[in-house]
Structure 1
Amino acid sequence: MAGRLLLSRSVNTGTKYYGAFAKWEHFISGHGFSSIPANPIHVALYLNSLLEKGGTYAVVSSAVYAIKWVHNLNGHIDPTTNSFVQNLIEFSKREAKNPVCKKEPVTTDILINLCGMFLNENDLLVVRDLAMILLGFSGFLRFNELSSLRCSDVQFFEGHLTLNIRKSKTDKYRFGSQVVISKGSTVACPYTMLSRYVELSKIDLSSDHFLFKQVYRSGQGCKLINKNKPLSYTGARQAVMKRLKLVSNDTNFGLHSLRAGGATVAANNGVNDRCFRRHGRWKGESSKDGYVADSLESRLLVTQKLGL
């Protein structure tokens, strides 16, 4: 039963809580008190010490949720409901922070120019990178969704392909979702590029191997590694940045630029809001809107409609 109780949260969330609670435990034991059940005043003093060290709301909230979770699991009264604790949380929200520097979204023109440079390219490494970029852009994929794709998650149909997203950030119960991507008409068609990648890598689309893996050079050619290991975040980021720098001087790109870029282009071209949210696997309006960089024309339209 203990194992099932621990899995009431996702593995990643559990790992985060373990780390945050261990820091609280180290702090309070150093002062000669118990970490569980905790005295609410001690929790408040711990949060205050985090803030004095420059801790942000993210740090404070992680500590609070970790302490709350462990107490609930063990059947103890939650000390984080104390008014001192709650007011310190509110203070951390209001405390001045450094402005968020969001990554610039990739544009359709950038991708067309990039793929135009490799029209007849048969180098597996290059084609893999381009396929990752185009899928991330057209499928509004987060890195974890892209790196977790298995070969069997891809299905080709006449005129479109589907991606089976087994787990997603907003799909906490792992129901899964399906992303459909239409066949395009330019050199940056994700359908065509992924087909080239599958052909060059000799991937078996019925296998459970990861779709995107590391590539090694053997003689004059390239091959995917045999080990069933997904591409790391660092490896994927380096690959994507290397390609994007060929056609853009903007250095404020990252893996999230692909998801943000696809979402921005779709939103500015009037895609139906319900389909838009479903395609990007967003639950709420605020999270969805955070990805979209409105075009100048769309922003000017507001005052143009005033009739002045």
Structure 2
Amino acid sequence: MDCPMEEENSDIPPSRSTEGRASGSSIDLVDAVCLFKSIVQKQFENFSGQLKSEQEVFSKKLKENDLTKLKSEGNKIQFEFNGQILDGLDKLEARAFENKDSKAVSIIADLRKLLQTRNKHIRIADSSPAGWKTVQEYKSSEIADDSDDDKKIRSAENRALKQKTKSRVHPYRKNAYAYPSTPSAAAGSANLLPVQPFLTPGNQLFRPKGPRRQPQPFDICYNCFETGHWKSRCPNAAQTTSKPSHYFIFITHFSAIFTVGRWKDINVPKDQQLAELTSQIPEYCLKSRADSTQKQYRYAFNEFCKWCTSFSCKVNSLPASDTSVSSYIIHLAKVSKSSSKIQAATHAISWAHKLAGLTDPCESSLVKLVKEGTLRDTCHPVTKKEPITPDHLHKIINVYANNKSSLADLRIACMCLISFAGFLRFSELANLKMRNIHITDSYMILEIEKSKTDRYHEGTKVFVARTNSDLCPVSLLERYILLSDLKGMSDMFVFRALTFCKKSKSYTLRSQNRPISYTRAREIVLSAFGSIGLDSSKFGLHSLRSGGATAAANAGIGDRIFKKHGRWRSESAKDGYVHESINEKLQVSKNLGL
């Protein structure tokens, strides 16, 4: 049962009592809002501080990661120091924002940009083989952090490496050579003695005639192999029971060949003209081999020298014993498993000894037997590239030499047809100049100034007939010359790199008179082979020369004119280019009377 509640008496009028209750409620609401606001602000400050600390930790890890990627200790120190300055600039920038100092903010931003650019240059220099030369080349071009920045860095690095290569003293280096201090001393305890570089301006390798100077502290005695005196004045001469080798010198690289052997005994004449001629003897000795052969032999002999110095005991590289050469051949067979490496090593060692006038160890029967054994063990069947046929050329002409073909397409078709018809190697095709081409009504003549088999640069002429067909190489070359605007009888290379003009939407030959590179030529020709349905992995640039030779051989062309047209020196080299057809191969069994 509900009980009625009694009302309390109050001295406050009813209306005034209601107003008091409303005022108290509004005060409580304001307090609640203020409390909520303070709690949210406090939580936000805590979250902001936590986020800031995490950001600092993450930034620190990034900087440490950048430091670990740097190779040079000096670059690490400089990069870390720049990072500390950047941290200080961040604090200064925050203070400048608080004080609303726009000028200070602008100065700090410029300083930060300079330091960031410097750190970028440090990373480029540290990762590039050319070091700070790459940075110099990069700074010479327009610096920008756009999509082309990586391309600019690679381009700058390539230019720096080329300049670094050109700045080398070639082919002679100014390195010191190591000589053993005693006859029984190991190679590791050798003294470093300065040797004058050959053919360096102001220095002479050969001793001029006249009064001999007194022994110097760096002179070596070839009797006891100690420094400070000569063999003729050796104090240990009477105590020496066995006469050491006259050529007991450690050779560490190819250039040192001209400091031993016959070169030590050559005296420079007093006559200046005769002395100049004498100083050119080594230069012309090197020219007895082609530049590419010299480069190959130099590298192979330097590798042999490195191998000789890798042992604790003494192993002479020049003169080398037949035992050490045989051991090195076995080493190459096990490590590289390449017959070409073995051939290059033996030829290089043999040539080095002939240059120095020393006994050739490669003529030893021991070396010959070991070489033959390793070649039998490492030789593998050679997979030659397949030849291009006239049917393939028909497809290439239809795609790349039609009425709508651009200069780029026409260049591909012209290179293929001329290489096929003239049996041209790539070097012969690339070095063709306008003055080497003579066109008549019935044929054209290609003058090959320099060829692989033309040792004395006598030059050869290749005659190509005008067939007046779709595959006529003369007509296609005339069309290419007309479209490319090449001038007759000039020194301009026929096949050069192209430039695409966006305005006219057409290709033009670059003004730089440089032949097309092997890499680019191979790329576009193999792409053309692939576009007509061929497996580009089975073909190469030599497929054009091989295809022309195969077509001529299957057509029954005489061996004499066939060999002359292809500029082959031997029958084996000529036969290696010819791929007989199935009908030719079946002729033997068909004529056996079976």
Q: Do Structure 1 and Structure 2 share a fold, with TM-score over 0.5? A: yes
How far apart are 1:54 and its partner, in Å? 3.8
How far apart are 1:20 and its partner, in Å? 0.4
Matched, 1:160 2:446: no
Q: Which secondary structure does the structure 1 equivalent of 2:331 belong to?
A: helix
How far apart are 1:99 and its partner, in Å? 2.2
CA distance in 2, matches of 1:116, 1:122: 10
How far apart are 1:96 and its partner, in Å? 4.9
Aligned length: 308
Return 79-88 or 131-140, whichever deviates more.
79-88
CA distance in 2, matches of 1:205, 1:90: 53
Partner of 1:43: 325
Matched, 1:294 2:576: no
Partner of 1:243: 528
Paired AA for residue 294 in structure 1: E
Q: Quote the RMSD (CA, aligned, Å).
A: 1.4
Q: Which secondary structure does the structure 1 equivalent of 2:417 belong to?
A: helix
Partner of 2:512: 227
Matched, 1:34 2:316: yes
> TM-score w.r.t. structure 1 length?
0.96
CA distance in 1, matches of 2:557, 2:302: 46
Aligned pairs (5 A) from 1:182-261:
182-219=465-502, 220-251=505-536, 252-261=538-547
**Highest RCO, 1 vs 2 (Cα 8 Å, sep ≥ 6):** 1
CA distance in 2, matches of 1:89, 1:175: 36
Out of 282, 287, 300, which is 1:7 matched to?
287
Return 189-198 or 201-210, whichever deviates more.
201-210
Tell me, yes or no, if the aligned pair for 2:426 and 2:541 is still in contact at 8 Å: yes
Matched, 1:280 2:563: no
Paired AA for residue 347 in structure 2: Y
Partner of 1:115: 397
Q: Which secondary structure does the structure 1 equivalent of 2:499 belong to?
A: strand
CA distance in 2, matches of 1:94, 1:161: 47
CA distance in 1, matches of 2:468, 2:475: 9
CA distances 1:182-205 after superposition (whole Å, capped 9, x unpaired): 012321211011111111111123
Note the residue ranges of structure 1 that are not aligned, 5 or more in a row.
Answer: none
CA distance in 1, matches of 2:317, 2:567: 38
Tell me, yes or no, if the aligned pair for 1:5 and 1:73 is still in contact at 8 Å: yes
CA distance in 1, matches of 2:330, 2:413: 48
CA distance in 2, matches of 1:87, 1:55: 17
Tell me, yes or no, if the aligned pair for 2:443 and 2:474 is still in contact at 8 Å: yes
Tell me, yes or no, if the aligned pair for 2:339 and 2:378 is still in contact at 8 Å: no
Q: Structure 1 vs Structure 2: percent identity of aligned residues?
A: 37
Partner of 1:148: 431
Q: Which secondary structure does the structure 1 equivalent of 2:531 belong to?
A: coil
CA distance in 2, matches of 1:232, 1:218: 21
Partner of 1:181: 464
How far apart are 1:122 and its partner, in Å? 4.3
CA distance in 2, matches of 1:303, 1:39: 53
Out of 57, 68, 86, which is 2:350 matched to?
68
How far apart are 1:98 and its partner, in Å? 3.1
CA distance in 1, matches of 2:442, 2:593: 44
Return the index of the structure with the highest Cα Rg: 2
CA distance in 2, matches of 1:54, 1:16: 16
Tell me, yes or no, if the aligned pair for 1:119 and 1:187 is still in contact at 8 Å: no
Tell me, yes or no, if the aligned pair for 1:115 and 1:188 is still in contact at 8 Å: yes
Tell me, yes or no, if the aligned pair for 2:339 and 2:379 is still in contact at 8 Å: no
Tell me, yes or no, if the aligned pair for 1:57 and 1:89 is still in contact at 8 Å: no
Paired AA for residue 281 in structure 1: R
Tell me, yes or no, if the aligned pair for 1:161 and 1:182 is still in contact at 8 Å: yes
How far apart are 1:19 and its partner, in Å? 0.5
Partner of 2:410: 127
How far apart are 1:304 and its partner, in Å? 1.3
Q: Which secondary structure does the structure 1 equivalent of 2:508 belong to?
A: strand
Tell me, yes or no, if the aligned pair for 1:131 and 1:190 is still in contact at 8 Å: yes
Out of 340, 356, 362, which is 1:58 matched to?
340
CA distances 1:238-268 after superposition (whole Å, capped 9, x unpaired): 1111222222333311101100101111110
How far apart are 1:208 and its partner, in Å? 1.4
CA distance in 2, matches of 1:159, 1:246: 32
Tell me, yes or no, if the aligned pair for 2:326 and 2:371 is still in contact at 8 Å: no
